[in-house]
Amino acid sequence: MGEAYLPGAMQSLAAQAAAFEALLLAASAAHKILRWRQLQDVARQFARVPASLAAAALGVALLAEICAASLLIGVPYRAAGAALAAALWSGYLGLIVRAILQDRRDVDCGCSFGPVSRPLGVFQAARNVALEALAILVWMSARDGAVPVQASEVLAGLALLALYGALDQVMGLRPLRSGGVV
């Protein structure tokens, strides 16, 4: 466990983070394909995209997510993939913050995989900040040399994705009114 071991461990962790982000982006792209019509409404109401451009905007986001996910897997392109992922999450974060500032908290942001009963708030914004920070870390580590994504990294990415999904489900639940348990 000498000093020489640490960079290797960090690169391995960065590869796991890259696998997680790639899987999350792939899941997000699949979500767009499966709920194409519903997410066009989201583009109109949440992102305020004109109705005539909603399908095109959704298509661009879908393409960007697929590109970022693919680039994150390949070692030579990981930095570019991480930069694209960070840019995507920055864009989504901007839309969330804008909706909150405009007091449109009840609008569906399309940022969860299931039905959501909780209005937009700090959680959604913080989640995007965390994803963006992770993408930046992957980008920084990829500049110094990256390790390929292998089976154990994919497994780690899947586990992190499952935990992300669990958190997403829990935070989507309707908040209970305060008071003691009866």
Partner 1 sequence: MSFVIASQVALWIGLLVLGVVCMALARQIGVLHQRIAPAGALSLRQPLKLGDATPEMQLPALDGSLVQIGGARGGRSQMLLFLSPGCTICEALLPAVRSAQTAERQWLDIVLASDGAADDHAQYVRDKGLAKFPYVVSEHLGRSYGVAKLPYAVLIDEAGKLVSTGLVNTREHLESLFVAKETGIKNIQQYLSQRGQRRATSGE
> Which residue ranges make up the site for partner 1 (CB under 8 A)?
114-115, 117, 151-152, 155-156, 158-166, 169-170, 172-174, 177-182
Find the shortest distance in angstroms from Cβ 5 to partner 1: 12
| Distance in Å, CB of 13 to partner 1, minimum | 12
Q: How far apart, in whole angstroms, are the C-alpha atoms of residue 108 and residue 165?
A: 17
For partner 1, which is the closer residue by CB, 36 or 60? Answer: 36
Q: How far is the CB of 116 from partner 1 (least distance, A)?
A: 9
DSSP 8-state secondary structure symbol assigned to residue 112: S
Query: Smallest gap, in angstroms, from Cβ of residue 87 to partner 1?
Result: 27
Which of residues 21 and 93 has its CB atom nearest to partner 1 in the complex? Answer: 21
Where residue 7 falls (left for φ over 0; alpha for ψ -120 to 50; beta otherwise) is: alpha
* C-beta of 17 vs 88, nearer to partner 1: 17
Residue with smaller CB distance to partner 1, 4 or 76: 4
3-state SS of 23-46? HHHHHHHHHHHHCHHHHHHHHHHC
Contacts of 109 (CB under 8 A, 6+ apart): 42, 46, 95, 96, 99, 120, 124
